[in-house]
Amino acid sequence: MTSHAAEGDTPRKATAASQIDKKPVSKVRKVAKVKPVDTRPSFGRVAGLHQSGDALDLRSSVALVIDQDTHEVLLRKNDQAVLPIASLTKLMTGLVISDANLPHSEMIAITQEDVDTEKGSSSRLAVGSVLSRGDLLHLALMSSENRAAHALGRTYPGGLSVFVKAMNDRAQGLGMGSTHYVEPTGLSSRNQSSAIDLAVLVGAAYNVPLLRELSTSPGREVAVGRRTLQYNTTNRLVKSPNWDIGLQKTGYISEAGQCLVMQTKVAGRKLIMVFLDSAGKLSRIADAERVRRWVETHNARNTVVSANSAG
């Protein structure tokens, strides 16, 4: 890979001419490149889903809360709308890897193919880094590591295309009729689903003990070459004493907005929560808190809070 000096870099050695010239030379500070903020509206905002109101004043344009045991719907809002799902994709990636029973101790190298060319996102897993399949799965689910997720799909028996087909086949087998995947990370806005389908996915993933364990892990140190990297969960609720979370995944790309799915226990009830296309970085967390307080206060059995459905 050819490296290019950033604009404003000073040369490493002075030239002969500059050594003769006695005029003071002002130092030029290196200015860190700031990645431009993607201000494009989400698909849900373009579709007008944020105009839908609801009794809890949620900031997410799509929401679904169901009782995992009885399948009662406690809250629904645009739950049939089909939208990009960002890194919620990685739950299906984890499910397909789990289904395959591949050796978790097998070492896998990150290659140039795993570098994000879709969004240009960064990663601490440099090309050439070697990790076990188990560690890649852990980082993908806990820290939403995109290169880790892509490497899992790339090294699947038959390659990436076979892996993506397995993702879609698994979705169809679960009855997720509104869901479609084109890659394993969620960086593509063509990975799309509905809240109804995602609740099914959460239920299926919850049945796999390893996915429960890895997705709710608060942090992990991973040895990469001579370095030890500390990775942490992307979901602050995992560390909160107010929450009992059995499985979770966060997601964000501009087209999807802020997303969150969880299996959790509230007021003695096992619930599956889905929040899509939330307006702000903390809004998905605030929405989950609103729902938790509402269930705790009203123990909302047999109550359905509804907004206009879309889709």
Exactly one of 42, 52, 60, 87 is catalytic; name it: 87
pLDDT, tens digit (0-9, with 9 covering 90-100), for 267-292: 999 999 999 999 877 899 999 999 99
What's the CA gap between 80 and 194, in Å, rounded?
5
Residue type present at position 120:
G
Residue 100: give its domain's CATH number.
3.40.710.10
Catalytic residue check, 90: yes
Q: How far is CA 201 from CA 131, 145, 194, 211, 302, in A?
A: 27, 20, 11, 12, 23
Token output for 199: 């609740």
DSSP β-ladder status, 73-77 and 60-67: antiparallel
22 in a structural domain: no
| Helix (H) or strand (E) run with residue 136 in it | helix 133-142
For residue 160, is it within any domain? Answer: yes
Active-site residue 61, yes or no? Answer: no
Structurally, how many domains does the chain consist of? Answer: 1
Q: Which of 60, 143, 144, 278 is catalytic?
A: 144
281 is catalytic: no
Task: Tell me the whole-structure pTM to 2 decimals.
Answer: 0.84
pLDDT tens digits, 238-260: 999 999 999 999 999 999 999 99
What pLDDT sits at residue 225?
85
* pLDDT single digits (tens) 215-235: 999 999 999 888 999 999 999
The series of mean pLDDT values per 10 residues for the chain, 311 residues long, is 38 39 47 58 93 91 97 96 98 98 98 95 95 98 98 98 98 98 98 98 98 97 91 95 97 96 96 94 92 86 50 38
What domain range is 148 assigned to? 43-306
Q: What is the pLDDT of residue 82?
A: 98
Query: What is the pLDDT, as a whole number, of residue 11?
Result: 35
281 inside domain: yes
Answer whether residue 29 is part of any domain: no
In a domain, 146, yes or no: yes
> Out of 77, 90, 129, 278, which one is annotated catalytic?
90
